[in-house]
A and B are shown apart, each in its own frame.
Chain A
Amino acid sequence: MAPILELRRVKAFYGQSEVLHGIDMVIADGGMSVLLGANGAGKTTTLRAICGMVRSQGEILFASQRLAQRTTEAIAGLGIAHVPEGRGTFTGLTVEENLRLGGYTSARGSLANMQRMYAYFPILADRRRQQAGALSGGEQQMLAIARALMMDPRLLLLDEPSFGLAPRIVENIFTIIERIRREERVSVLLVEQNASLALELADQAYLLETGYVVMSGSPKTLADDPQIRRSYLGY
């Protein structure tokens, strides 16, 4: 089966500084891959490069289509949904309006999609007319994911969904993510600092350090590596 996403020798730049130094990555269709690394390793930058939000060089292939030179909105239209760092919800708009925005590019009926989202995240149904800014952190994260799913994406990019959330809520969210992956048949690229949780769910893992991929393989390989265990898993 062809990979859903391929990165070849991808470099990324903030202004004049090169932040990613030629990384290679392959995401299998229908799989969940996780990108691990410390702060500043370049994980968020990788997601941004995929979505055309930073200047980049190298090949990025999505379902064999080249993404280079495309605008962010065009890339979104191709079927990549990105839940950015900090959620990126429209805090001035209602929950329902946020979801409708997710459905902006979707070919399928927006209404049907919304019902599905409310099924996955019942709490959003309760709060549908509230301003998104009034929601708690966990609820906003759910809203952000729901909004991304409204796009009927083939690839879901998640940037640190556990950030700032209590462990129980994080577990809840990850359970839902796993369920979504199976039922919606969407591939997931997950960026996480919470390494142990992420490794439990993923099919494949990459470790980034200061802009380089220093290790890749199955989660078990990474989890068993003593260096990784010391630096990222804490034991």
Chain B
Amino acid sequence: MHQFLQQIFSGLAAGSIYASLALALVMIYRATDLVNFAQGDMAMFSTYIAWTLVNAGTPFWAAFLITLVASFLGGMAIERIVIRPVENAPVLATVVVTIGLLLIFNSLAGWIFSYTLQEFPSPFPDRTLFGALMTTHDLGVIGVTLVMLVLLFAFFRFTATGLAMRAAAQNPDSARLCGISVGRMFAIGWGLAAVVGATAGIMVAPVLFLDPNMMGGVFLYAFTGALLGGITSPIGAVAGGLIVGVTENLVGTYLIASQLKLTVALVLIILVLVFRPNGLFGTPIVQRV
């Protein structure tokens, strides 16, 4: 029983990471109608920036904030420069562009920072809590994710820019008629998604160790979580990410420990999708006849 609870909690911590990245994916999907396959590697690159700052002596939380700002600007720049040209191109073109972006970030990271595994410091003291039920790091991850989610929710719900972004995502033509620059809203959306991704990367690096391929598995789980929740639903993204995290842990502990864990977890989740093809909270991708 104790082990079961342990697995649930560490699953929730892992799930928070997946939920964050899943949320970033959903934000971009809702705004610009595409899946950003490079989201994970963009987060990895941001994490390397944080790592560089920390190694140069910057205190952790300062490095964290600076990285978030840099990621925001980077995300906006990528939307303007890389994504804008294919916004109206066929779907496959956007898939290829984000895959290309993935390759570029991955390769650049390996070149600039080398492929050796690096240690990444955790800002949370190294202790276990509640009788070894969970680590402080896990609790910290869940906490940081919660704070971020609350801030995002407040931003979209209560600020004028947040409202404008929701409008631009729902109905770009009408948004323009209200004087909203839809292009700028998309750029901000990508910036915010990059911030969310960077947070996920920095939170997971102490556990997974930092290397250019760190976010590959995380991305896959996050993508799964986003779809499980429904690619159009932010709440679904969070719920989906958490469910995937817990499922992955339980499968790994009780079913099959080897590399096949990933396959089995995916299969289980896909089975859920067979019964709910639009995810748990998603709305069908409506096509006008």
Contacts and interface: CB of A to CB of B under 8 A. Distances in A.
19 contacts: A53-B176, A73-B179, A73-B182, A76-B177, A76-B179, A81-B177, A82-B177, A88-B171, A89-B174, A90-B170, A90-B171, A92-B166, A93-B170, A100-B160, A101-B164, A102-B178, A104-B179, A105-B179, A151-B179
Given A100-B163, A101-B164, A101-B167, A151 B178 contact: yes
A101 B176 contact: no
Given A88-B174, A100-B160, 14 more contacts: A71-B176, A72-B176, A73-B178, A73-B180, A84-B173, A84-B174, A90-B167, A90-B170, A93-B166, A97-B163, A101-B178, A104-B164, A104-B179, A147-B178
B128 interface: no
Nearest to B181: A73
B70 interface: no
B187 to A, nearest CB: 14
Interface of B: 160, 163-164, 166-167, 170-171, 173-182
A76 B173 CA distance: 12
A25 to B, nearest CB: 20
Where chain A touches its partner, the secondary structure class is: loop
Contacts of B163: 93, 97, 100-101
A104 B174 contact: no
Interface residues of A, number: 24
Nearest to A87: B174
Interface in A92-114: 92-93, 97, 100-102, 104-105
Contacts, number: 62
Nearest to B157: A97
Nearest to A83: B177
B44 to A, nearest CB: 33
A51 interface: yes
Contacts of A151: 178-179
Interface of A: 51, 53, 71-73, 76-77, 81-82, 84, 88-93, 97, 100-102, 104-105, 147, 151
Contacts of A104: 160, 164, 178-180
B39 to A, nearest CB: 24
Nearest to B169: A92
A76 B166 CA distance: 19
Contacts of B179: 73, 76-77, 104-105, 151
A91 B171 CA distance: 9
A38 to B, nearest CB: 24
Contacts of A101: 163-164, 167, 175, 178, 180
A51 B170 contact: no
A213 B226 CA distance: 53
Among the interface residues B160, B167, B173, B174, which one has the most CB atoms of the partner chain A within 10 A?
Answer: B174
Contacts of A91: 170
A93 B173 contact: no
A51 to B, nearest CB: 7
Contact of A73 (B166, B170, B171, B176): B176
Among the interface residues B160, B166, B177, which one has the most CB atoms of the partner chain A within 10 A?
Answer: B177
Nearest to B172: A72
Contacts of B173: 53, 72, 84, 88
Contacts of B180: 73, 101, 104
Among the interface residues A81, A82, A101, which one has the most CB atoms of the partner chain B within 10 A?
Answer: A101
Contacts of B170: 90-93
Contact of B174 (A90, A97, A100, A105): A90
A127 to B, nearest CB: 18
